[in-house]
Amino acid sequence: MMFVMNRPGSRRKRSKGDLTSQAILDTAEQLLETKSLDEIAVDELTSGAGISRSTFYFHFESREAVLYALSERVAEGLYDSAALWLRRGSEPPAESIRRAISGTVALWRAHGPVLRAAVRARDTSEMVRGFWSEVARKFIESTAQQIEIERDAGVAVAGPPSARALATVLVSMNETMCYSLSLGRKSAARDREVVETLTAVWLRSVYGVPQ
Amino acid sequence: MMFVMNRPGSRRKRSKGDLTSQAILDTAEQLLETKSLDEIAVDELTSGAGISRSTFYFHFESREAVLYALSERVAEGLYDSAALWLRRGSEPPAESIRRAISGTVALWRAHGPVLRAAVRARDTSEMVRGFWSEVARKFIESTAQQIEIERDAGVAVAGPPSARALATVLVSMNETMCYSLSLGRKSAARDREVVETLTAVWLRSVYGVPQ
DNA sequence: GAAATTATTCGACACGGTGTCGAGTGAGCA
DNA sequence: TGCTCACTCGACACCGTGTCGAATAATTTC
């Protein structure tokens, strides 16, 4: 189901090492459903992958490096979701915002454990922090840009707060809510409520209230 | 500067054990300014307090228990801050909300390291989670109550989202922003910007936009 | 104020996890 | 066939944790 590519375009056959790396990553993703990253011992990872503990260090530098690799698996989907922030044509704002938020929630539902571990590791691992702050930057950037477009068009309420500050708060808010939502049992009703609430806050904060 | 009381009303003299517990707590709070809780080894705590490592376990069950005790030190101030959520008399909403948010930001500035450690430990330690979810509950509860009062008075925009769902999102948002704000260098300008932005989101989400 | 009790401290120990090293092993290729 | 390089392994040194029982300091009891 999941896989890591060799360098793009490489026709090199999947080597044995790739397979073990894969097995480690799969085991890690599975274990993260139960425990946090630093509760996972290296030998849990390797016994799950059918190799000895020391072999782990041939494939990864550390547990954090595993998380980094897992993050890359998810990042692609995240960027797709980011593209949704940009409003399409004449569609009303409520629709595009709801759709974008729905997409983010769905992604957190699909990869909650990895995303939560990544968020937590931001405070710990320089490597992970760099990666995810870049992701966050793109989200915030495109949101701020969109807010500015709407303000220039006279559709959105003017600042202060600046488009950038507002975008930062809104994006962080989404992340926080997705994090805590993904901790609970999967529930379509709860998902819908969160999407509705977040959408309402976005709309009111950016556009004001529809009378 | 900081101290822990014996049972209230007890006139028992400060025992030696109380003093070492204190020293451990003070050392912990100081170390948290630099490292996260699980980067702090027990012997860093005890050497800071001038005792041997094993003596630590006489005073605390674990590192998490230390954090719990530190949380209690801060909790009081937090409840004072919570009381501010409730709007005072005829004061305009913008004022009371800005004042409440300012209070929270100030508290995070004063005790950022402890509060951050506590937030992180929520996912790890049952004890810490219980304590802080109770704190969060009170914040959310009183906010939701206030939103309902304003809605009934026709001042705030009606739901959905429900007062409770809206309150949850807004309170979490504040926490998240305070967390990341307290990570950066102390800056009055930045503080002001964050307070303004959060206030704006609260006002627009609860009351709608002033034309 | 001496004896008994309780509070506090300590060093030693067993345990479990980490990361490294050098010695294998084996698959593919010249 | 033999070389090379990717891969694997067990052994080892290290570090932090948590527990135990013995030693000592403080406090209470008589």
Report the CATH number at residue B192. 1.10.357.10
In a domain? residue B6: no
**Any domain includes A148:** yes
Are residues B73 and B174 located together in one domain of the fold? yes
> Do A97 and A200 meet the contact criterion of CB atoms below 8 Å apart?
no
Among A31, A61, A29, CA closest to A44: A31
pLDDT of residue A80: 74
CA-closest candidate to residue A28, choices A62, A70, A86: A70
B50 and B82 in a single domain? The answer is no
pLDDT, residue A82, reads 67
Instruction: Report the alpha-carbon distance of residue B165 to residue B150 in Å, rounded.
Output: 15
The string of pLDDT tens digits covering residues A24-80 is: 999 999 999 999 999 999 999 999 999 999 999 999 999 999 999 999 988 887 777
Q: Does A169 contact B209 at a Cβ distance shorter than 8 Å?
A: no
Q: How confident is the model at residue A10 (pLDDT cuts 50, 70, 90)?
A: very low
Cβ of B176 within 8 Å of Cβ of A173? The answer is yes
Cβ within 8 Å, pair A161-B123: no
pLDDT computed for residue B3 by the predictor: 35
Q: What is the mean pLDDT of chain A?
A: 88
Q: Is residue B52 in a domain? A: yes
Q: What is the pLDDT of residues A118-154, one digit of tens each?
A: 999 999 999 999 999 999 999 999 999 999 999 999 9
**Phi–psi pair at B107, nearest 5 degrees:** -65, -40
Question: B36 is written with which tokens?
Answer: 């996260």
Q: Which amino acid is at A185?
A: R
Cβ neighbors of A37 (< 8 A, separation 6 or more) are A63, A64, A67, A117, A120, A121
pLDDT digits (tens, 9 = 90+) for A157-181: 997 899 999 999 999 999 999 999 9
DSSP structural state of residue A62 = S
User: What pLDDT is stored for residue A87 in this prediction?
Assistant: 66
How crowded is residue A61: how many other Cβ atoms within 10 Å of its Cβ? 11
Which range is least confidently modeled, A65-79, A183-197, B172-186?
Answer: A65-79
What gap in Å lies between CA B114 and CA B106, rounded to an integer?
14
Spell B37-48 as b/e; 16+ CB within 10 A means b. beebebeebbeb
Whether residues A38 and A73 share a domain: the answer is: no
Q: Which residues of B touch A173 (CB under 8 A)?
A: 169, 172-173, 176
User: Using an 8 Å Cβ cutoff, are A64 and A124 in contact?
Assistant: yes
Share of chain B above pLDDT 70, in %: 89
pLDDT of amino acid B75 = 85
d(CA B209, CA A143): 20
Residues A24, A72 share a domain: no
What is the C-alpha to C-alpha distance for residues B107 and B78, in angstroms, rounded to an integer? 7
CA distances from A133 to A27, A81, A136, B102, B186 (A): 26, 16, 5, 26, 21
How many domains does chain A divide into?
A: 2
Which residues have CB under 8 Å from B144's CB, separation 6+? B163, B164, B166, B167
B130: DSSP letter: H
d(CA B202, CA B101): 10
- Specify the pLDDT at position A91: 84
pLDDT at residue B159, as a whole number: 76
Count Cβ atoms below 10 Å from residue B122 Cβ, excluding itself. Answer: 16
pLDDT, residue A79, reads: 78
CATH at A48 = 1.10.10.60
Q: HSE (CB half, 13 Å, CA atoms) of B52?
A: 2
Q: Which of A168, A180, A193 sits opposite B165 (nearest CB)?
A: A193
Which range of residues forms the domain containing residue A104? 63-207
* Beta carbons of B70 and A157 less than 8 angstroms apart: no
Q: Is A2 a member of any domain?
A: no
pLDDT for residue A11 is more than 60: no
- Rounded to 5°, the CA angle A49-A51-A52 comes to 130
What is the rounded CA–CA span in Å between residue B167 and residue B165?
Answer: 5
| Band of residue B209 on the pLDDT scale cut at 50, 70, 90 | confident
Pair (B110, B94) in one structural domain: yes
- Residue B14 has a pLDDT of 57
Indicate the pLDDT class of residue B16, thresholds 50, 70 and 90.
confident
> Same structural domain for residues A203 and A157?
yes
Q: Which two tokens stand for residue A49?
A: 């992958």
CA atom of B45 to C1′ atom of C11, Å: 18
Distance CA B150, CA A163 (A): 28
From the list B205, B105, B184, the residue with the least C-alpha distance to A170 is: B205
**Is residue A20 in some structural domain?**
yes
B53 lies in the same domain as B107: no
Q: How far apart are CA B97 and CA B95, in angstroms?
A: 6
- Residues A80-106 pLDDT 10s: 776 766 666 778 888 989 999 999 999
Same domain, A30 and A131: no
Q: Under an 8 Å CB criterion, which residues of B touch A? A: 36, 38, 116, 120, 123-124, 157, 160-162, 165-166, 168-170, 172-173, 175-177, 180, 193-194, 196-198, 200-201, 204-205, 208-209
In a domain, B7, yes or no: no
DSSP state of B38: G
pLDDT at res. A101: 93
Q: In chain A, pLDDT over 70 holds for what percent of residues?
A: 88
Are B136 and B48 part of one and the same domain? no
Final residue of a structural domain among B6, B27, B60 = B60
**Strand D proximal to A18 Cβ, under 7 A:** yes
- Strand D nucleotides, any atom under 7 Å from protein beta carbons: they are 6-11, 15-21, 26-27
| Å: B115 CA to C6 C1' | 36
Q: Let me know if residue A87 belongs to a domain.
A: yes
Residue ranges of chain A whose CB lies within 8 Å of a chain B CB: 36, 38, 116, 120, 123-124, 157, 160-162, 165-166, 168-170, 172-173, 175-177, 180, 193-194, 196-198, 200-201, 204-205, 208-209
End-to-end CA distance of chain B: 48
Same-domain pairing of A54 and A76: no
Answer whether B193 sits within 8 Å of A120, measured CB to CB: no
Mean of pLDDT over chain B: 88
Is residue B71's pLDDT more than 80? yes
A184 plus A82 within the same structural domain: yes
Q: For residue A3, is it within any domain?
A: no
Domain boundary among B25, B60, B95: B60
Terminal CA-CA length for chain A: 48
pLDDT of residue A186: 96
Give the pLDDT band of residue A9 (cuts 50, 70, 90): very low
Of the three residues B60, B92, B113, the one that is the final residue of a domain is: B60
Q: Are A54 and A68 members of one domain?
A: no
Q: Is residue B76 over pLDDT 60? A: yes
d(CA B41, CA B182): 23
Which residues are CB-contacts of B84 (< 8 A; sequence separation ≥ 6)? B96, B99, B100, B103
Q: Is the pLDDT of residue B89 over 50?
A: yes
User: Does residue A161 contact residue B197 with C-beta atoms inside 8 Å?
Assistant: yes
- Do A208 and B208 make contact, defined as CB atoms within 8 angstroms? yes
What radius of gyration, in Å, describes the C-alpha atoms of chain B? 20
